Amino acid sequence: MTEDPNNLSCAAFQARLPELIGSGENIAAHPHIQSCEICRALLADLMTIAEAARQLFPIVEPPDRLWEQIESAIRNEDGGSVQP
Amino acid sequence: MTQSRFPTQPPDPASPGPTLDPRAVEPSRPTSSSVPFARAASTNSMEDETLARAQAGDHQAFAQLYSLHKRRIYSLCLRMVGNLAEAEDLTQEAFLQLHRRIATFRGDSAFSTWLHRLTINVVLMHLRKKGLAVVSLDEAMEPAPEERAGRSFGAPDLALSGAIDRMALERAIDGLPAGYRLIFVLHDIEGYEHNEIASMLDCSIGNSKSQLHKARLKLRDALRIDPRQEARR
């Protein structure tokens, strides 16, 4: 038996939400979202988080010693054949 | 002229000369979906030359590649594991793997994409060794009753402010359980699709979607109770 999208409970709608979001379809047009303020707010929050995450990519400088460690490890692997 | 084949410090990419500025060659989100294979060839010619020399065993060139990609790789590791010491170790391991395998790079994808994927594999291997069960656990990943998505219904005052504080979000991501953080970072930050994540983690696409959803719900909860966020209200 298929669920009537016009008569979904919040529980049923939210249980389907991962799939709905993952499908890429326009959830804002879903009948439940149109009629339910709580789930509309939930969806808005999740979309806000996802959007904020897309902007979130701080580039961090690794410590200088890391290259020395890598260089040393490579030298060990190469049996000391690499010229310093 | 005798030139050291293996500099004690990698060249400074910001210095003049043939070294490239990494900001000019590193895409902000080098994913298989967002960075097409045919990345602007003109901007890559110098990196291609450096790459070719590194593939031929020129350690000066390898050091240049390190300088070009170290920030991106270190940042990726840090975001995935949320721990500075582990991120250092993993960055080192990623570049060691790169050194071992660089000759096998055939240019089927952008080098940065290939290195990005190599790094993710290094991190995943590390997490598996640590016993993080992020793979093949569809049943185990069923949410506990208190974690079910439905816990949200009926909750009043749901809306976040609309503009999430970057630091608060970073703190919230760092506070996610490792498995949730991994999928959130791969999808929402790194831009991988669910089918790619499922393939990487050896889980189902539905599982990836479900985990991502739960991660976002946890972040939402964390952001709503973040005291610094609260203080701003």
What lies within 8 Å, CB to CB, of B223 at 6+ separation is A49, B160, B164, B168, B169, B172, B229
Q: Smallest Cβ distance to A67: which of B10, B72, B208?
A: B10
What's the pLDDT at A56?
78
Q: Which domain holds residue A33?
A: 5-77
What's the pLDDT at B119?
94
What's the pLDDT at A8?
83
In a domain, A72, yes or no: yes
Residue A45 CA to residue A17 CA, distance in Å, equals 13
pLDDT band, residue B39 (cuts 50/70/90) = very low
**Helix H or strand E encompassing B85:** helix B84-101
Q: For chain B, list the domains and their CATH numbers.
A: 22-129 (1.10.1740.10), 134-143+165-233 (1.10.10.10)
Each residue of B93-144: pLDDT tens digit? Answer: 999 999 999 999 998 888 988 999 999 999 999 988 877 654 333 333 444 4
What's the pLDDT at B69?
93
% of chain A residues with pLDDT over 70 = 86
Q: Considering only alpha carbons, which residue of chain A is nearest residue B222?
A: A49
Each residue of A51-64: pLDDT tens digit? Answer: 888 877 678 899 99
State which amino acid sits at residue A63: P
Each residue of A24-41: pLDDT tens digit? Answer: 788 888 999 999 999 998
In a domain, A84, yes or no: no
Judged against a pLDDT cut of 90, whether residue A65 lies above it is answered with yes
CA nearest neighbour of B229 among B147, B151, B170, B185: B170
ipTM: 0.74
What's the pLDDT at B212?
92
Comparing B4 with A20, which gets the higher pLDDT? A20
What's the pLDDT at A82?
55
In a domain, A82, yes or no: no
A·B CB contacts under 8 A: 152
What lies within 8 Å, CB to CB, of B26 at 6+ separation is B68, B69, B71, B72, B112
Residue B67 CA to residue A13 CA, distance in Å, equals 49
Q: Smallest Cβ distance to B206: which of A19, A55, A84?
A: A19
Chain B interface mutation, best of A9, A20, A21, A42, highest count of B Cβ atoms under 10 Å: A42
In a domain, A83, yes or no: no
In a domain, A14, yes or no: yes
B78 touches chain A (CB under 8 A): yes
Contact across the interface for B220 and A15, Cβ inside 8 Å: no
B210 touches chain A (CB under 8 A): yes
In a domain, A49, yes or no: yes
In a domain, A33, yes or no: yes
Highest mean pLDDT among A20-29, A50-59, A70-79: A70-79
What's the pLDDT at A2?
59
Q: Which tokens hold the place of B43? A: 């901007």
CA nearest neighbour of B162 among A48, A41, A46: A48
Query: DSSP state, B146?
Result: G
Determine if residue B155 is left, alpha or beta; phi over 0 gives left, psi from -120 to 50 gives alpha, anything else beta. Answer: beta
Q: Return the axis-axis angle of helices A65-77 and B59-81, rounded to nearest 10°.
A: 120
- Tally the domains of chain A: 1
Residue A40 CA to residue A10 CA, distance in Å, equals 10
Residues 99-128 on B with a CB inside 8 Å of A are 99-100
**Residues in chain B within 8 Å Cβ distance of A73:** 92, 96
In a domain, A65, yes or no: yes
